[in-house]
Structure 1
Amino acid sequence: MVWTFALGLWGLSRQDSVWRDEAATWQVAQRSTAEICHMLENVDVVHGFYYLLMHVLFECFGPSTTALRLPSVLAMGVAAACVAVIGHRLAGRWAGLGGGAAFGLLPAVQFHLQEGRPYALVAAGAGISTLLVVSALQRRVRASYWVAYGGTVVLMGFLNWLSLMILPAHAVTLLWVRAGRGVRARWAAASAAAAACVLPLVLFSRSQSAQVSWIPPLTWHMMIGPAVLLAIGGVGALLDRPRTGRLPIAAVGLPLLVVPQVGLIGLSLVQPLFLERYVLFSLLGLALLIGAILGSVVRAARPRFPRASRWMLPAAVAVAMVALLPQSLAKRSPASRVDDVLAVASDVRRLKEPGNAVLFIPSARRDTKSVSPDAFADLRDIALAESPERSGTLKGLEADPARIRTAMLSQQRILLVTDAAQVARPVTAERDKTKTSVLEEYFRAVADEQVRGRRVTVYERRAPAR
């Protein structure tokens, strides 16, 4: 846990950068509770519980990159601790320590370790719920354990309802070890209650499915990553040699890894949803199986090399740390994300002049203004008809194209905030086409700055032809 905390605190601010996904958390968390609830009626209801949690944290500690990301660091530390405890119980000390240390080093974990999004919290819930299942399989537990299990799964579902795929993963574990009828009955009751609590959120979120329409359809090359993970997990399962009377670590780790990955692939055949962060919690299973591999190596070496065997795990962690160092540094750089809303806000502050107007293409780039309102002081948002807060949206409601055209033609100097050329998508919305055509026909660019995936261009009105 301490090891994972240290990895999370290393470079936590990412050079004071915040990218678009985190900007959504940042701007929503600063709204009032009523405004957040109003927004959830229209968009992002799947993250509503997380936004309310971050709202409380921002109220207590103020908005900052530390307050934004520290919950993820703490949650990943809890997840790593759960991996270590489970691995220790099922395969011994070295497997527990190896799995817990390996978890924090996994590239996907390092990425989300410092993200102001809910996926690390889901991973912590997965660790806690799996530890509760293991406890129930190892000994007779009180009913409060199953209440805690159901409550943890409910919280996971409220943070990301796709995390409910942990339930079939645990079901496979129970079938694998032939759990007693009492354990199966209590698990089924807790699982059914948890799923029933989350079901209204699942059904309501279907009305907002347009939010994920940008996710591309599943392709064969997307399967490479899951295939590699499953291969590593398979090696760990094969090397697992459970002692008499002990649960096999493969029975816990392999379903936790495989079921969510395969489940997400299956869902993506119906509706494209394949994003690794949706099943980030499955990497707890991978870490357990990596721990099994490391534990097997140490046990095999101990009879011949009793002294050297003690240093095998630290040496393996050190080698992995060095091998992954370039990637670890890259993930703590602003360049690891597609853009940086704070960097471009600094350019706006420098380039603006009194009486200027501002436009955003697409309108979602208004997140820069929402996160850094001071940088846009004295700038008229001439396309905006209703603010994000009043409209209950993330990007606000813009006027119709004709009104935007009229407003633009009344300006002498306009700042355009958009995506940098290398990440920009083709303009498709009619409002954005109007903005682009008016700027090209009646204005000329006099300044252009691109920084960390964002771009601000200053346009001045052309002199009328004589």
Structure 2
Amino acid sequence: MQGRTKSSEGAARVPSARVVLAAGLVALIATTVNALGAWIPSLWGDEAATQLSATRPLPSLMAMLGNIDIVHAVNYITMHFWILMAGSSPFALRFPSAVAIGLCAGVVVWIGARLRSLPFGVLAGVLTAALPRLTHAAVEARAYAFDALFATVLMAIIVEVLRRRRPSVWWWVAYGAMLAIATVTFLYVGLLALAIGVVLWWRGVDRRTWAGWALSSVAGLLLASPVAWIALHQRGQIAFLATAGHTNPHAILVEMWFVVDAYAWIAWALMAIAVVGWVRSCPRRGSPIDPVSIALPWAVLPLALVLASDAVHHDYTPRYLTFAGPAVALLLASGIAELARLRVGRVPMAALCVTVLVLCVTVPVWSGQRGPWSKRGSDWNDVAALVSAQSQTGDAIVFDESVDPSWRPRLALDTDPAAFAQLRDVQLVTPYAQSPTWHAQTRSTAEALAAGALEGVSRVWVVEAVVDGVVGTDETSDLRAAGYEIVEHQRINVSDVSLWVRVG
């Protein structure tokens, strides 16, 4: 590596207690704020997959992973043990994600403080905790929050490596191990090995550093390769993304990191300012690393490669780039730092105003992500509450089975069985815990009637999916033919609930 500059000579020193304290406080506050309201939204299909997979007995879970969802194996197995301790309520399922985003914000504080200054690090950490894509991940019972955390830790390790003349081999061991864990958790995070290669090239590192990166990257990716190999053979389970229409300007420029247009306009302007300021400072290869030279490859290269892959396989969705969210926060902080040069007296008024504006735009997004129907409109909490309050022991219940498994209203029962305990589940064939997939195997209402499952049942609850404002299927025609008539009906949000009573 080239000789150290004066600014980097103290780089190998242990960070001050102020940096550690600031990172810890930001992590704690970010966790608390993002955990607020996590219990409010109904679970939705992806979260149901997490809950139903993680609550299986381990042998059943391992058998399922051999068929589907190997890419979620780390998440499901970890959540299995978490659920044993904390339960499977919506808050319990989502709280680990809030913690992950809090820790992610704390690590960004560390990176920003090491690369620029403590105030800059705190600003970047706050923007990380408030980035709409990350505030969404914080209340999602999936692994996306951990993807962001692991990616950020990976970058923090590289920052520490580059701040040392001769980093210990243990830094490379830590890098390789974290790369393996991050890649197994989400395969696309493995692309960061290439982004880090770009960072090293820009820094102009020596052969020793190149060798450390190459050997550790290969080792980490090889450790993750069995999961990647199995995932390749399970690729058909995400074939539906080919028709989802996510590769469009709005999905990439807005939904991917910013969720709403107002935030996106501000954010892209700030990132442009950051890049222009970086270019104007005339950086050249061999210059000390800075937030922009770390964040640009982190954000841009994985996105470019994912979109290139999508051109062939059509499997892109905006959530896939959640792990680049902290890089975006570093770029936003860098843009605000550039605006801080514009002062009114000694006050960086432009930077203060933009920071306040960004946070103000974030508040309604954060609040909206914690509404009762904020998870793709899912209203399972309302369905469970309605049926639990009005049903009687011995009533039967049937569900619309015509929609995709992740949208089936039956998941209201599977994710909250206590609310439906007094009803007869006449469609169930194989419970989810014994099924080769994450969801239960069922039969139609007509098949249940033919099997005599409704003999002696005078009241039947019907829960149907509402798709684009229209009930997805007519489960009720078979009940009507069997002598039942509707006596109550309620449309909630994406579910239609009715009560049918046998006549005569």
1:451 aligns with 2:492: yes
Match in the other structure for 1:101: 126
Question: How big is the shift at 1:271?
Answer: 2.0
Contact 1:125 1:156 in 2 (8 A): yes
3-state SS in 2 of match to 1:124: helix
Q: Distance in 1 between matches of 2:216 and 2:210?
A: 10
Match in the other structure for 2:415: 371
What's the C-alpha RMSD, in Å, of the aligned pairs? 2.8
Q: Distance in 2 between matches of 1:54 and 1:104?
A: 23
Match in the other structure for 2:97: 72
Deviation by residue 1:363-402 (Cα, 9 ceiling, x = unmatched)? 5432222221122224232222211111232222224787
Contact 1:218 1:268 in 2 (8 A): no
Question: How big is the shift at 1:425?
Answer: 7.8
Question: How big is the shift at 1:421?
Answer: 4.9
1:256–1:391 distance in 2 versus 1, CA, 3 Å: same
Match in the other structure for 1:178: 204
Contact 2:396 2:454 in 1 (8 A): no
Match in the other structure for 2:293: 251
1:409–1:114 distance in 2 versus 1, CA, 3 Å: closer
Q: Which of 419, 423, 427 matches 1:383?
A: 427
1:315–1:396 distance in 2 versus 1, CA, 3 Å: same
- The one-letter code sitting in structure 2 at the alignment partner of 1:233 is M
1:24 aligns with 2:68: no
Contact 1:91 1:292 in 2 (8 A): no
Q: Which of 10, 18, 31 matches 1:5?
A: 31
1:356 aligns with 2:395: yes
- TM-score with structure 1 setting the length: 0.88
Match in the other structure for 1:189: 215
3-state SS in 2 of match to 1:444: strand
Identity across matched positions, percent: 25
Q: Which of 370, 373, 377 matches 1:335?
A: 373
1:242–1:419 distance in 2 versus 1, CA, 3 Å: farther
Q: Which of 421, 440, 445 matches 1:396?
A: 440
Unaligned runs of 5+ in 2: 1-26, 258-263
1:381–1:317 distance in 2 versus 1, CA, 3 Å: same
Q: Distance in 1 between matches of 2:133 and 2:292?
A: 22
Contact 1:389 1:396 in 2 (8 A): yes
- Tell me the number of residue pairs that the alignment of Structure 1 and Structure 2 aligns: 452
3-state SS in 2 of match to 1:344: helix
More helix by share: 1
Contact 1:119 1:280 in 2 (8 A): yes
Contact 1:239 1:296 in 2 (8 A): yes
1:350–1:190 distance in 2 versus 1, CA, 3 Å: same
1:324 aligns with 2:324: no
Q: Which of 289, 305, 312 matches 1:270?
A: 312
Deviates more, 1:47-56 or 1:265-274: 265-274
3-state SS in 1 of match to 2:141: coil
Match in the other structure for 2:384: 345
Question: How big is the shift at 1:282?
Answer: 0.8
Question: How big is the shift at 1:230?
Answer: 6.2
1:425–1:316 distance in 2 versus 1, CA, 3 Å: same
Q: Distance in 1 between matches of 2:449 and 2:305?
A: 48
1:293 aligns with 2:335: yes
1:14 aligns with 2:40: yes
1:387–1:65 distance in 2 versus 1, CA, 3 Å: closer
Question: How big is the shift at 1:417?
Answer: 2.3
Contact 2:270 2:335 in 1 (8 A): no
Match in the other structure for 1:430: none
3-state SS in 2 of match to 1:213: helix
Contact 1:420 1:453 in 2 (8 A): yes
- The one-letter code sitting in structure 2 at the alignment partner of 1:220 is N
Deviation by residue 1:98-141 (Cα, 9 ceiling, x = unmatched)? 21111111111111112111110111101100011111112132
1:438 aligns with 2:440: no
1:406 aligns with 2:447: no
1:158-173 equivalences under 5 Å are 158-173=184-199
Match in the other structure for 1:220: 248
Q: Distance in 2 between matches of 1:193 and 1:124?
A: 21
1:29–1:187 distance in 2 versus 1, CA, 3 Å: same
1:400–1:293 distance in 2 versus 1, CA, 3 Å: closer
Q: Distance in 2 between matches of 1:193 and 1:54?
A: 27
Contact 2:466 2:472 in 1 (8 A): no
